[in-house]
Chains A and B, each alone.
Chain A
Amino acid sequence: MLRRLRRVPLCACLIFLGLFVAPIAAPTAAHAQSTSDTPLQDVLQTVQAQVASPSRGTVPDVLSALLERDAPGTVEFLRAWQDRGIVERPEDGLFFVAHETGGMVELIDIDTGAVVEQVSTRDVNQIRPNAGVRREINAALVQFELMNPDPARRIAALESATRSPDPEQIPALELALDAETDARIAARMERLLDLLNARFTTDTATRVDAIDGLRGDISTEARRVLNQLLQTRSDFAQTLPDDANIARIRTPGQDMDLHAAYRVLSDAGLFPPRPGRNAIRDALRANVVDGAVGGIPVHQLDTDEARRTAYRALQDAGTVPPLVTQADMEAAVAQYVFFDAYLEPDATVTDAASTALDSTRTRIGAFQALSLSLDALSLASIFFLAAIGLAITFGVMRVINMAHGEFIMMGAYTGYVVQTLIPDYTVSLVVALPLAFGVTFAAGVAMERLVIRHLYTRPLETLLATFGISIALQQLAKNIFGTQARPLTAPDWLAGSLALNDIVSISTLRVGIFFMALAFLLLLLFILNRTRLGLEVRAVTQNPGMAASMGINPDRINMLTFGLGSGIAGVAGVAIGMYAQVTSEMGANYIVQSFMTVVVGGVGSVFGTLAGAGLIGALQKGIEWFNPTNTLAAQTYMVLFIILFIQFRPKGIVALKGRAAGD
């Protein structure tokens, strides 16, 4: 229908407007014609009284006068008028824009913008339009904006109108839609018009048309409008009313609680209320006579059965309201029919709305699944970044590095320190990434030389020694940086988010982390498979003794591997620090997850870690989807799943086979 309307010639439209919405007819003309030369002040003086003391009834006169002549500065004037920024000079009745400066008012000429004079606030009348008038002015303003030649202003006006929908916007929008030349803006206008029509129009056919136009629209506004149309109220009656738009009929005892149904009736005063346990007790307490109620001694009234017997005695005596039994309730409820009725009386509208809503459901589901997959992917890349360093050291050296989390923390603090020195976030990030690698590489090499080298024959003890280092490093960080979280701010180009629609959106930072994880994956694959170092690392992994006899120095390889793994942890720390907060305990939060990623994925394989991270990320998001409010539960179930998973694949997803497996 709207498409058709757009093809109607402009003049016909103008006539239509002149008849129905006279005040807003002119901007359409303004779009086509050049602006007139009449000064605004002169125009205003033609409707002096209406401007000076505006009321809802007089505003259209002013608007039509303004629009008719279309003097320059009209929009600015309207905005100032609405904001109580216009004053009237009592001597000659002229209007000025007021600029208050410390008890004095600068009167600014409406047309030229020049300061005319400075007077006391008491010497001029401030014009104060009331709320109703301001709304009218606002509607007119929206319309002016919708007609603005600048597309950006039109889009902004559309967005503000979408935020505060109002039936008075409908005519303005229809007009604007006709004049609109940009197809994308026109589509948005049509959609907004559908939203408004669906909600506010009285004409059923128009509404149903508008609702049909919202089919498949997955935006939150559209769904909110449709859901609003489908709001119901619960009610009851002796027979089903003909005029009500029934959504569903409820059967007490099946899809409605019998007690609840009876309470509805008793609340309406149709039946006596059913005394609950507390009511029975209170009634008994009020009727104690000589230490007994209804012939039963008080001390025996410590069971529900005894209390009910006593209550019956009182009921027989007529002192208390009757005890309502199950049968009573059933009988009472059977006399009535309980139903949910739509607030919207028109069945065609509600039918159309529910069809439209149903049609969006599949798309919404698909997009939610997409959004969830993106979340899972992003989480997986974070896990991958956190775990890959660990996987390298664990895989190559069979050494569990409990201080791995602290290397992540060290990298994050490096980023923080760099940021305090270099104020530009982009530059500091570029500096921080290699620096974090360097710092943690050095720390890793130092740790390998000083501690781990001596413990290669005792793998369980490396676990303990590195744990000792981990608590020492954590406390050191606390001593140096304090316990409160330090900010590591992402540069602006990473701070936004990419939104496909209202359901699917992902922050740029997460996209950045994903690409970073990807880059590290490729880099590691390259190093391990295409370089001399990688060849030697693989040789040492498979058989250290044989590698040594072929002229490879396993000590050197171990040192470099450990440094590499730690360095990657440092870089991951910068990324994680931007995503979460930098605290001395941040590493500890990732260490168990990282271990599980490595163990689930399979030790000693980059692809294994990738698979592990993917599985754990997907699993965590998947479980969260079932119970979105409870991330703790998701983590619990995930850990349980991993424990079970290890049962069936003790060597992880990608298990090394043959001699490479080592054992």
Chain B
Amino acid sequence: MVSTNQPDTARPARRSLLHTNPSVLWFMGLLGLFTLGVSILSEGMGIGVLSTSMVKILGMTLCLCLIAICMDVVWGYCGILSLGHFAFFGLGGYAIGMWLMYARTEIVIRDSLAGATIPPTELEVTDAVTAQIFGVVGSSELPLIWSFAGSLPIQLAMVVLVPGLLALVFGWLAFRSRVTGVYLSILTQAMTLALSLYLFQNDTGLRGNNGLSGLQNIPGALHVPQSVLSVWFFWASAFALGAGYLLFAWVVSGKFGSVIKAIRDNETRVRFLGYNVEGYKLFVFTLTAVVSGIAGALYYPQAGIINPAEIAPIASIYLAVWVAIGGRGRLYGAVIGAATVSLMSSWLTGGGAPNINFGSYRFLWTDWWLVVLGLGFVAVTLFFPKGIGGLFDYLVRKKP
């Protein structure tokens, strides 16, 4: 690479991103069509075939697809089985949730105080908002971390900075001491556990296990009906997913992508070749954490509520399950896995699927779905390591 007499072979003609990744165009097209279709069918903007809650579920699914892409990049491409990305997702949700809850409560309080003979002071407003938000955990003081909760730009920055910084510090500590493989997985799981336990406490300033609620009401758009808001958020989620896909498709292609794939396959050899393995891993880990935070910030306003149970280690393991079922090492695989499994989960556990009668025993999907999922997951791991995405290989191979 340093010096060669044959520039033609050493430097192949530079090909465009889309050319090296034909799936990007396909994906963008399909996502665009899907977005258009949902908008037309939606209650708020179109003919009303899809209910508002359905649009929300689809929008949330897009956010889950985005975090699944992050997981795929960090695990499928870089070989770090992180069991902590849902923690970053949740932190993003908490960061935006603080603003949503604070700003909306402030509007409500100001409205109720507007009729008073004497206008309220800032302190009175803050106190009233605090009492409203933290009365449930028996506290009357605004926690320090809520100092900027009233400011949208700062909280938006937090969506990116908090998960990013946590990932940076944690990743630096972990990669620096060469924690790899299952050890790293357990360590990330421990981090997630610590975070969720921390958030479960009432006195840490995030309302303990009550979590943040009422997030579906957007301050500044309180007059907009939920049916319209749901479509707006759907668009935002679709845009974020498209942008994320493009970003990561670009990241994993080219030289950078080759290096992280090489790290996945043989970390020691890459290190001996002179690459700063820790730097690459840290970059990938932090970047995916940031994007996960953004996905979370889009997800929770649609879900309406966030609580520490969302961050529990099990959620991150499910994330790994989605990616594995969809197919690791290909971005669209992650999207397929996340969309299929999460939609099927909510369909089957929500009682939407018909139950099957086996003579005397009635097969209830709500009871058996997790058993089927668990065993199906074992089967996928054993027999189809490439996941659903692997099916595409057969399609592509048919062409000459």
Contacts and interface: CB of A to CB of B under 8 A. Distances in A.
B343 interface: no
Interface string B298-337: 0000000000000001100100110010000000000000
A304 B127 CA distance: 14
Contacts of B197: 632, 635-636, 639
Interface stretch (A4-12, A185-193, A335-343, A591-599): A591-599
Nearest to A403: B374
Contacts of A596: 186, 190
Nearest to A306: B121
Contact of A646 (B179, B200, B376): B179
Contact of A642 (B178, B190, B314, B376): B190
Contact of A650 (B120, B183, B185, B320): B183
Interface string B370-400: 1101111110011001000000000000000
Interface string A572-608: 0000000000000000100010011001000000000
Contacts of A400: 182, 185-186
Contacts of A301: 118-119
A592 B178 contact: no
Nearest to A399: B182
Contact of B370 (A474, A639, A647): A474
Nearest to A644: B173
B363 to A, nearest CB: 11
Interface stretch (A23-31, A280-288, A344-352): A280-288
A463 B378 contact: no
Interface string A81-121: 00000000000000000000000000000000000000000
A472 interface: yes
Nearest to B375: A472
B37 to A, nearest CB: 33
Contacts of B81: 460, 463
A595 B374 CA distance: 21
Contacts, number: 157
Contacts of B120: 302
B119 A468 contact: no
Contacts of A555: none
Nearest to B190: A639
B183 A469 contact: no
A286 B346 CA distance: 58
Interface residues of A, number: 57
B34 interface: no
Contact of B177 (A302, A307, A650): A650
Interface centre among B185, B190, B191 (most CB of A within 10 A): B190
B173 A647 contact: yes
Contacts of B203: 630
Interface centre among A455, A463, A468, A474 (most CB of B within 10 A): A468
A459 interface: yes
Interface string B201-213: 1010000000000
Given A463-B185, A643-B187, A471 B117 contact: no
B200 A632 contact: yes
B193 interface: yes
A595 B186 CA distance: 7
A302 B190 contact: no
A299 interface: yes
Contacts of B371: 471-472, 475-476, 479
B370 A472 contact: yes
Given A464-B321, A595-B186, A285 B117 contact: yes
Interface in A387-406: 398, 400, 402
B319 to A, nearest CB: 11
A495 interface: no
B186 A636 contact: no
Given A639-B193, A639-B194, A643-B191, A302 B377 contact: no
B341 to A, nearest CB: 12
Contacts of B376: 468
Contact of B201 (A285, A293, A463, A633): A633
B201 A454 contact: no
Contact of B367 (A307, A474, A479): A479
Given A277-B123, A636-B198, A642-B190, A467 B370 contact: no
A280 to B, nearest CB: 10
A49 interface: no
Interface string B108-125: 000000001111111110
A566 interface: no
A469 B377 CA distance: 8
B381 A636 contact: no
Contacts of A402: 317
Contacts of A636: 194, 197-198, 201
B194 A643 contact: yes
A400 B317 CA distance: 14
Nearest to B320: A464
Interface centre among B177, B313, B381 (most CB of A within 10 A): B381
A459 B320 CA distance: 15
B189 interface: yes
B314 A588 contact: yes
A464 B324 CA distance: 9
Contacts of B179: 646, 650
B256 interface: no
Contacts of B368: 475, 479
A522 interface: no
A164 to B, nearest CB: 36
A325 interface: no
A469 B378 contact: yes
A451 to B, nearest CB: 6
A467 B118 contact: no
Interface centre among A281, A298, A304, A639 (most CB of B within 10 A): A639
Contact of B374 (A460, A471, A640): A471
Contacts of A475: 367-371, 374
Interface string A463-504: 111011111111110110000000000000000000000000
A303 B201 CA distance: 35
B143 interface: no
A461 interface: yes
A40 B378 CA distance: 85
B352 to A, nearest CB: 18
A298 B118 contact: yes
B46 interface: no
21 contacts: A277-B124, A298-B117, A301-B118, A398-B182, A400-B182, A465-B381, A467-B320, A468-B376, A469-B375, A470-B374, A471-B374, A471-B377, A475-B371, A479-B368, A588-B314, A592-B193, A630-B201, A636-B194, A639-B193, A647-B174, A648-B177
- 7 shortest A-B CB distances, which residue pairs? A472-B374, A468-B377, A639-B194, A475-B370, A471-B374, A302-B119, A468-B378
Interface of B: 81, 116-124, 170, 173-174, 176-179, 181-183, 185-187, 189-191, 193-194, 197-198, 200-201, 203, 313-314, 317, 320-321, 324, 367-371, 373-378, 381-382, 385
Given A451-B378, A459-B181, 15 more contacts: A277-B123, A299-B119, A302-B122, A304-B121, A460-B181, A468-B321, A468-B376, A469-B378, A472-B378, A599-B186, A632-B198, A640-B194, A643-B173, A643-B190, A650-B179
